[in-house]
Amino acid sequence: MSAPALPAQLAGLNVYMVGIKGTGMAALAEILVARGVRVTGSDVEETFYTDALLARARITWHEGFDRANLENTRPVPDLVVYSAAYDPERHSELVEARRIGIPLMSYTDVLGALSRRVPSVGIAGVHGKTTTTALVACIVQELGLKGTVLVGSALPNLGGRATLTAGDEFLVAETCEYRRHFLSFSPRAVLITSVEPDHLDYFSDAADIELAFVQFAHRLDPGGTLIYCADDAGATRVAEAVGSDRPDLTLVPYGLSADGAGAVAITSRRAGALELELNGVPYELHVPGDHNAQNAAGALQVVSTVASWTEDAEPPARISAAAARALAGFRGTRRRSEVVGEAGGILVLDDYAHHPTAIATTIAGIRTFYPNRRIVVSFMSHTYSRTVALLDEFARALSAADVLILHDIYASAREENPGGVTGETLAVAAHRHHARVHYVPGVLDAEPLIERILKPGDLFLTMGAGNNWRLGPRVIERLTEGVTR
């Protein structure tokens, strides 16, 4: 059975969202509200940063899943939108919605439908896509373009929102490669940040995931634009494969090894700042990591592309000036080297990095940005399949920490525990590369150990796609109370 079509008229529609606290779902909820949709929904009782994002948009939701939630929702929903984490054949609310005749659409189907209404850009990659999309949103906002940008995280620069809803002339959205979800998206331009093995519970190997990105780029409109990071071998292979089949496309490389308009050079690294030169123009970033120079270069190419689609094309000098202001004022996104706080001489950061490459580049960037600080890392691996497939890579990447605290694996709704792998499995592997490794299965059970380890001058970093981010605020609270030394 084919998915129902998204109604042409969104204003006044009643939409119920199952899994509404997911980062993409919460961002989509913001966009729907901005278009006059009445949104409610449901999710687990656990608190996430998206709770505040939804509350800011004046969206109410049910805590916990129950088929009765739909009966108690008024007005009766016209449409149920669900996260890809939930199976419409098994999830109680989705089964009930189908029984009583409410149409169902997945998050990816709705995003895909929105992408077909206006010229759209899909930003994709194993890592780097969230920050790149966030930088696009900030430059678009500074430039005053009338478009919409959907980011997979909350942005301080957008008042804590996960979207910029400044108009309907174009859509820029972070898209997801998992289960080839991005193949629902219809782009006029695509940006690919990085392609390497991940999501190996679905993709069979590196060639399979590269094929998915090739398929995504092939969805480009005739005469479309493929922007790719020339520093990433996987992204470059994808661009070369697509370019040989699609001579109608414009290929735009960006990065430290790129030539032309997408070229970026790092002119200075110092505590608290990264100085860049992009296409001959100086810029400054105040977020850690050389990888953010690449992200900035990619974002600028996206904005230059969408600006050329607008009725009054923006001159390059005006785009450069707006980008310089936006990059200098960019303060990152939620869970990307986010400063949680500082107390007792200890700085606490949180980062979503959950792939070995992202872990290594993030720790390296933080070390340059905050020199002379001992880095104590709490890491929680996400998904059993990723942990098993990339075990040695995780162990080597995490060895960059001065002290490492590991927790049990954060289970995903999309897979079952195969048995034989735990957080301790990763701890044993990490011990082969690092002397100071501690394993504490329960996140909050690690508090006494952390209190003993931390001392003034340290940087405590919670890292991963799990819930160990909860340790950061707890550490700040304890330090502020003067409990730790």
Q: The CATH number of the domain where 94 resides is what?
A: 3.40.50.720
**Do both 74 and 90 map to the same domain?**
yes
Q: Does residue 455 lie within any of the structural domains?
A: yes
Task: Tell me which of 311, 329, 347 is where a domain ends.
Answer: 329
The pTM of this model reads: 0.86
**Is pLDDT at 340 greater than 50 in this prediction?**
yes
CA end-to-end span of the chain, whole Å?
A: 62
**Do both 75 and 218 map to the same domain?**
no
**Do both 283 and 196 map to the same domain?**
yes
Dist. CA 351–CA 333, nearest whole Å: 10
Q: Does residue 485 lie within any of the structural domains?
A: no
* 369-393: average pLDDT: 92
**Do both 121 and 38 map to the same domain?**
no
**Do both 56 and 91 map to the same domain?**
yes
**Do both 122 and 232 map to the same domain?**
yes
**Do both 406 and 355 map to the same domain?**
yes
Asked if residue 408 lies in contact with residue 442, where contact means CB atoms within 8 angstroms, the answer is yes
**Do both 45 and 150 map to the same domain?**
no
* 170-177: average pLDDT: 95
**Do both 151 and 216 map to the same domain?**
yes
Dist. CA 357–CA 360, nearest whole Å: 5
**Do both 200 and 310 map to the same domain?**
yes
pLDDT band at 414 (very low <50, low <70, confident <90, very high): low
Dist. CA 150–CA 53, nearest whole Å: 13
Burial class (CB in 10 A: 0-12, 13-18, 19+), 325: middle
Partners of 377 in beta bridges:
404, 461
Domain that holds residue 445: 338-480
User: What's the number of domains the chain is made of?
Assistant: 3
Dist. CA 439–CA 385, nearest whole Å: 20
**Is pLDDT at 311 greater than 80 in this prediction?**
no
**Do both 317 and 366 map to the same domain?**
no
Partners of 347 in beta bridges:
342, 459
Asked if residue 305 lies in contact with residue 121, where contact means CB atoms within 8 angstroms, the answer is yes
pLDDT band at 280 (very low <50, low <70, confident <90, very high): confident
Task: Tell me which of 109, 125, 155 is where a domain ends.
Answer: 109
Task: Tell me which of 301, 329, 357 is where a domain ends.
Answer: 329
**Is pLDDT at 3 greater than 80 in this prediction?**
no
CB neighbour burial string for 431-463, b if at least 16 within 10 angstroms, e if fewer: eebbeebbbbeebeebbeebeebbeeebbbbbb
* 361-374: average pLDDT: 91
64-99 pLDDT, tens per residue? 999 999 988 999 999 999 998 899 999 999 999 999
Higher pLDDT residue, 199 or 165? 165
CB neighbour burial string for 369-405, b if at least 16 within 10 angstroms, e if fewer: bbeebebbbbbbbbbbbbbbbbbebbbbbbbbbbbbb
Phi and psi dihedrals of 220, rounded to 5? -60, 140
Dist. CA 208–CA 180, nearest whole Å: 10
Q: Does residue 152 lie within any of the structural domains?
A: yes
**Do both 24 and 75 map to the same domain?**
yes
* 91-110: average pLDDT: 96
Q: Does residue 1 lie within any of the structural domains?
A: no
